[in-house]
Structure 1
Amino acid sequence: MSEASRLREERMKSRDDQERRTEGAEALLDLHESAENPEPEDITEMLHDRQDAGCQTDLTMDDIERMEDVLKQTTTELGDLRTKALDTQFSQESFQKNEDKTKFYTGLPNFLVLMQVFQLCEPYITAGHLSVLSKFEQVILVLLRLRLNLPLKDLAFRFNVSYSTVSRVWHKLIGILHERLEFLIEWPERDVLQATMPMAFRQAFGCRVAVIVDCFEVFIERPSNLLARAQTWSNYKHHHTVKFLIGVAPQGYVSYISPAWGGRVSDKQITEESDLLKNLLPGDIVLADRGFNVGDSVGFYCASLQIPAFTKGKRQLSAYEVEQTRKIANVRIHVERVIGLVRRKYQILQSRAMPIEHMATKPGESLSLIDKIGVICCALSNLSESIVPLE
């Protein structure tokens, strides 16, 4: 036999062996599948074979029923644990054990302060059969929206409730929080103000500074009413806004917050028509920016206004004006820091389009929802440590 014939015979034999192995593997696979999924006739034969084999068990029907009851109970308990695990995301216990979670979701310094706020509001919150959310969860829901500016739909998913429930809780709790927390924004008594005056203010103006005033604006949706559009259009922001007048004590906490005005109003008008000036006493100093040209109105209360000097109509400022402007700028920066802190901490005030319905005043009420939101955010901010150094 030649070498070529021998090699050809070996290849044929190898191919035949491979085919036989493939057929054997397919036969084993078919047998395995038929064992896992027997035909009805095969099942009947198997049952007959087992009955013929006389297999017996020591379990009675009562034992089997008891095992089924235990299985059902275990399944129910697992379901309850899964539900509780989801529900504890915003439970009181979860915040108590995590200070960072409290700071992130509420903006408050710690859990103790959060509980003080909750206890102030708790008697006025309905729960139980009237709401699927606990009282604590309702407070957290509102604080979450103030803190992170979350849409109502997002909160509905987070708390596993309907959109209408979230909307109802939001509008109800805003009124309660405003009523219970507005006392935290208080004009200080003069003796307390002077005794705790920070050193930066003492060195610049003695103990006479009563308040630093400024305004900030919040973007809103474009109103459909033409008059409302005109009143809310801000030439400074080039957007429809509402404007708040804020007064900050030298110690670094908010001592006054006005209701919201249309963004078109001037700083001078909102100051003169608000109640802030009524708190002034003879000898007080009010610090403000250049836009607050309200020296005559402040002087009506025997107080004085300090604003940076103007260069309009002058070649340059005098040495005295430069020094006074420097003093004002050094201490006025604190009001900018406080306003920035409030808006960063409660991002609803940084909304790009506050819903227009928040501007409406309900029948029988004097404040709109945006007015209450401004008060609540400033009041909650006052519960944190001041950013103005005392020394």
Structure 2
Amino acid sequence: MPQCAAYGCRTGPGQGKKLHHFPRERSRRRLWEQKVKRKNWVASDFSLLCEDHFDETQYERARADGLRKLKPNAVPTQFTFTPRPLERCTRCCKRRDQPCLGRKEHVQLDHSYCSTECPTSPKVKTDIKDGLTDNVCTDGAVSGDTASGDKQLNISKNQCVEELRAEVARLRRQMEENAVNSRFCLERFSASDEDIQFYTRFASHAHFIAFWRQIEPAANKMVQVTRPCCIGLTNQVPHAASAMILQPVDEFFLFMNYLSLGLKLKGLAQRFRVPRSAVSRIVNTWADFLYAVLGAVGIWMDEETVRAHLPDVFQDYSDTQIILDCVGLRCQKRRSLLLQSEVLSSRKSHCTFKGLIGLAPHGAVTFVSSLYEGAISDKGILKQSGIVPLLNPSMAVMVDEGFLVGDCLPCRVHIPSFPSKRTPLSGSEVIKTHVERLIRRVKEHKIFSTVIPLSLTASINQLYTVACLLVNYEHGPLVKA
């Protein structure tokens, strides 16, 4: 059965009182709903209010039959609301030495039940500071010392604010650490030189950052390779205008992962959480960029500089200007037999690319040639590499026993003999070990220890040259002072 919608009123049909429907007009119905003061309640077409909630002035004159009718603009005004019972301020009684620091739940609490040591009262003010809104009791101690209570209140409030600030700072640091640890980036491994050496071949994080600072100004003008149209031609857009998924230093870190570990593009995409196409663009872009930047640095040394850094083990070969050796990179077989014959090495019986590399006796890379087909001979690669014009008769070149190019050079050629018997290391054996360590530094880039796919044919020369030139920056001196 319908009843009166007023709070606490149980008037219904058959009790001798007139029940009035809520107005159909929306504005007047909302006004009646506000007067009823029921939280989250909306009147319907069947909601009723009894005549007890209307003043006599809201009715028209009684008709002859004794019935009364509400005026068109009548508004209910007669309501009795039972106040919400007050609760005891448990926080104040729990800590009597501090004023009430309650917030919303303490605004309407009755402090009359608190002990005499509770320095609070029903007077409340709102303090807004540093983005925090606290409802704080401000009447001071009940003992009557208002100034002392206000002072104690301010001290407690300041302590609360400082604790909240410290907690916010701690949570912010924790969130930043979690964000860094969840991403595969340079900052994640900045505290471990061992990890930096594993992923980038740089000796330490300091070495990596020092090299990055040298190339960072030029990296802002980098041109990004977007899509190869044909061999030697690319569509290029400014790197700064492209959609930067990673930071520039993290892009360089990704490129060094590619060189050092020889990972597939899909593996790098999963590690760095970027699309595979983005990894391909980053690798091609940084290969071209470093090839241009590092290639512009003169690495050839004059005779005086080489002799000034000559190790003691080379005293018997003090005129050695450079140590030459060929580096072979195994590549994937091609379908065409004609093309396959061009890269087939007769010595190693598989398809290879060959390049000439020159190192100073103290360990610096001073010459890097382009890559050639594996079918080319040692003499052919020596003539085409461009190193012959850099040599003069006062210099000497050191080569391995199988590198027979003495008649092609305008200078002396040293071929140390390496005894087969296991005797204490002679000078020749020390030199051999020294040369092997030099070549090993270049081949530590794992991308060259795997079979190079045909898809990298267009950029393998840039990758090889960059890997050789980076040896001068990645490691410390080969021979310690």
TM above 0.5, yes or no, is yes
For this pair of structures, how many residues does the alignment match?
295
The answer as to 2:479 corresponding to 1:388 is yes
Q: CA deviation at 1:174?
A: 0.8
User: Does the Cα contact within 8 Å between 1:139 and 1:173 map onto a contact in 2?
Assistant: yes
Q: Classify 1:266/1:224 alpha carbon distance in 2 versus 1 (closer, same or farther; 3 Å).
A: same
User: Does the Cα contact within 8 Å between 1:257 and 1:374 map onto a contact in 2?
Assistant: no
Q: Which residue of 2 aligns with 1:343?
A: 443
Helix, strand or coil at the partner of 2:452:
coil
5 Å matches for 1:1-391?
84-85=179-180, 88-91=183-186, 93-119=187-213, 120-121=215-216, 122-125=219-222, 126=239, 130-183=243-296, 186-202=299-315, 204-205=316-317, 207-298=318-409, 301=410, 303-307=411-415, 330-344=430-444, 346-351=445-450, 353-360=451-458, 369-383=459-473, 384-388=475-479
User: Does the Cα contact within 8 Å between 1:252 and 1:387 map onto a contact in 2?
Assistant: yes
The whole-number CA distance in structure 1 between the counterparts of 2:297 and 2:433 is: 23
The whole-number CA distance in structure 1 between the counterparts of 2:176 and 2:306 is: 54
Q: CA deviation at 1:208?
A: 0.7
The whole-number CA distance in structure 2 between the counterparts of 1:215 and 1:253 is: 16
Q: CA deviation at 1:127?
A: 5.2
The whole-number CA distance in structure 1 between the counterparts of 2:384 and 2:402 is: 15
Give the number of the structure whose residues are more often strand, by fraction.
2
Unaligned runs of 5+ residues in structure 1 are: 1-53, 60-76, 311-316, 318-325, 361-368
User: Does the Cα contact within 8 Å between 2:378 and 2:405 map onto a contact in 1?
Assistant: no
The whole-number CA distance in structure 2 between the counterparts of 1:236 and 1:230 is: 13
The whole-number CA distance in structure 2 between the counterparts of 1:284 and 1:153 is: 48
Q: Classify 1:339/1:275 alpha carbon distance in 2 versus 1 (closer, same or farther; 3 Å).
A: same
The whole-number CA distance in structure 1 between the counterparts of 2:247 and 2:86 is: 54
Helix, strand or coil at the partner of 2:402:
coil
Helix, strand or coil at the partner of 1:255:
strand
Larger radius of gyration: 2
User: Does the Cα contact within 8 Å between 1:197 and 1:251 map onto a contact in 2?
Assistant: yes
Q: CA deviation at 1:128?
A: 7.7
Q: CA deviation at 1:296?
A: 2.3
Structure with more relative contact order (C-alpha pairs < 8 Å, separation 6 or more): 1
User: Does the Cα contact within 8 Å between 1:232 and 1:262 map onto a contact in 2?
Assistant: yes
Deviations 1:270-291 (A, max 9, x none): 1122111221122111111233
User: Does the Cα contact within 8 Å between 1:232 and 1:264 map onto a contact in 2?
Assistant: yes
Helix, strand or coil at the partner of 1:247:
strand
Helix, strand or coil at the partner of 1:331:
helix
User: Does the Cα contact within 8 Å between 1:287 and 1:332 map onto a contact in 2?
Assistant: no
Provide TM-score, normalisation by structure 1.
0.67
User: Does the Cα contact within 8 Å between 2:189 and 2:195 map onto a contact in 1?
Assistant: yes
Superposed CA RMSD = 3.4
